[in-house]
Amino acid sequence: MNEEQRLQAGLATEDAPSGKTTEKDYSKYFESVYSAPSLKDAKKRGKKEVEYHDNFQIEQRFKGMGQGRKFYIRTYGCQMNEHDTEVMAGIFMALGYEATDTVKDADVILLNTCAIRENAENKVFGELGHLKPLKLERPDLLIGVCGCMSQEESVVNKILKTYDQVDMIFGTHNIHRLPHILHEAYMSKEMVIEVWSKEGDVIENLPKVRHGKIKAWVNIMYGCDKFCTYCIVPYTRGKERSRRPEDIIQEVRQLAAEGYKEITLLGQNVNAYGKDFDDITYRLGDLMDDLRKIDIPRIRFTTSHPRDFDDHLIEVLAKGGNLVDHIHLPVQSGSSDMLKIMARKYTRESYLELVNKIRTAIPTASLTTDIIVGFPNETDEQFEETMSLYREVGFDMAFTYIYSAREGTPAAKMQDNVPMEVKKERLQRLNKLVNDMSAEAMKPYKGQVVKVLVEGESKKNPDVLAGYTEKSKLVNFRAPRSVIGEIVEVRIKEAKTWSLDGEFIGVVKEEKVMS
Ligand code: 5AD
Ligand code: SF4
């Protein structure tokens, strides 16, 4: 009996071990029925062409599965995960489930996890611990783990051993299989595990329930082939594969028609967009040039890799219009030696050259970055080079991290002679610089008028509205709630380290995008 026939027959498993399971029991189980993650397969980058599928549909037998049931998804990590959550919510709704934002009311709880650093993983294990009493109270509750952590062999083994409150684990390439996985979980007494480590395809027509009506995420590519030595992403997200331009353009047009004001194009390394096409020459610059003609006020992208940031893209970004002048350009370190060991494939000098090119073409550009401190064997001098690069570029903001060893990555095997104390002290010094320079970058705004896309109430004070400028500066101001979702003008009265306070002037009249 193949898997499909088995599912048709409503059978959960063919030869699942019964009773209390052990890791050993499961290894046989995986081979016969399920797929567990494999680091070896995740490393592979074959020549196989990406397959595009646009025939996703909810099978008749699954329709109504969610009748009278509620789902809750907790999302950890990056925007890619946030967007995956929107897709999973879309699938749940298509199955007839209702959304809830209260764990206690949920019949299915999913943790959409992040594997980028150890503390991200610890949060998830902590949360699983918190969910255990709920599962004991309500054995029919389904608890699932998905996202990047589920792609890791070691995580799946740990869950199998110690977290028997988990009913299902599925991977980042298995999201479209959610109806089947839920079905299995309802039918089976055992933990359902479906994690494909294969390189991955592109599935086009998955349903989505977007979070909000103002800003939207649009995937332009999946995966990463860069294999920076510290990073788990190439193993958890598979090989680089780009969506076809016509599908992306169509999605952005549709979002514009629905009234969205801002689009963020997503990919682990958006500058590699189009590299995998073998029938057309079409890269991120070409895509941005096409998208800027769509009548939507703001278009951003994240995340960039300096290595693939080409001249054509800079030329197109310089045309402005709805292409915002904020570029997030992770540098990771200011030391060429460190960059080499990180396998970033650029140097301090070439990064600075790129910054110079961007600034020459787009003088108003605001640059932000990501930095890792305490990479194995980073010396004081090398850390100082990061500090000096930060000053030299004059970044507006940075996300800063202490290096975290990720099992399976090359860096995890490196000897590390930097004590944690030293790493923490470096992080503190860097953060002080980041704060000081952010405060400096904010000062000139005082007295200026900025355009703000109003997102809603400020987190701290419901009487105040908040939104972001094109350069991603947070602005707080008082105005009628009717301007939520609009682009408004605000005169800045006070510049703080991370935000601006201002006075509402009025709604910006329709600005036509250049064609
Ligand atoms: N340890 C610390 N930071 C990391 N990042 C990626 N992998 C690691 C790691 N192993 C950071 C990088 C990346 C950001 C998303 O997370 O700075 O740009
Ligand atoms: Fe990780 Fe490097 Fe790929 Fe970014 S470019 S996702 S840091 S491997």
- In a shared domain, residues 427 and 456: no
Same domain, 468 and 415: no
Radius of gyration of the CA atoms of the chain, in A: 24
User: What is the pLDDT at residue 33?
Assistant: 39
**12 is a domain residue:** yes
- Angstrom distance (rounded) from CA 230 to CA 176: 29
Q: Which helix (H) or strand (E) holds 110?
A: strand 108-113
- Specify the pLDDT at position 511: 60
Does some domain include residue 377? yes
Which of the ligands is closest to the CA of residue 333? 1
What is the per-residue pLDDT for 86? Answer: 97
Determine the Cα–Cα distance for residues 131 and 409; give it in Å rounded to an integer: 30
Q: Is residue 261 part of a domain?
A: yes
Last residue of one domain, picked from the residues 407, 422, 443: 443
Residue 264, Cβ density class (10 Å: 0-12 exposed, 13-18 middle, ≥19 buried): middle
If phi > 0 it is left, if psi is from -120 to 50 it is alpha, else beta; for residue 394 that is left
Q: Is 151 in the pocket of ligand 2 (CB under 6 A)?
A: no
State the CATH number of the domain containing residue 491.
Answer: 2.40.50.140
pLDDT of residue 1: 28
pLDDT averages per 10-residue partition of the chain, 515 residues: 33 32 40 65 78 88 95 96 97 97 97 96 97 96 97 94 96 94 93 85 92 96 96 94 97 97 97 95 98 97 95 98 97 98 98 98 98 98 98 98 96 96 98 98 97 95 96 97 97 98 92 52
- Tell me, yes or no, whether 88 lies in a domain: yes
User: What pLDDT score was predicted for residue 336?
Assistant: 98
In the block, tokens 């991120």 appear at 284
Say if residue 406 is in the same domain as residue 379: yes
Ligand 1 centroid to Cα of residue 160, in Å, is 27
Report pLDDT for 17. Answer: 32
Residue for token digits 């278009």?
Answer: 299
Domain with 279 in it: 203-443
Q: CA-to-CA distance for 124 and 161, rounded, in angstroms? A: 16
In a domain, 512, yes or no: no
Distance between CA 25 and CA 34 in Å, rounded? Answer: 13
The phi-psi region of residue 185 (left if phi > 0; otherwise alpha if psi is between -120 and 50; otherwise beta) is alpha
Same domain, 43 and 150: yes
Do 311 and 391 fall within a single domain? yes
CB of 180 closer than 6 angstroms to any ligand 2 atom? no
Q: Distance from the CA of 235 to the center of ligand 1, in angstroms? A: 14
Helix (H) or strand (E) holding 367: strand 366-373
Residue 130 located in a structural domain: yes
CATH of the domain at 158: 3.40.50.12160
Helix/strand/coil (H/E/C) assignment for every residue in 133-156: HHHHHCCCCEEEEEEHHHHCHHHH
Structural domain contains residue 65? yes
332 CA: nearest ligand 1 atom: 17
Cα distance between residue 5 and residue 237, in whole Å = 29
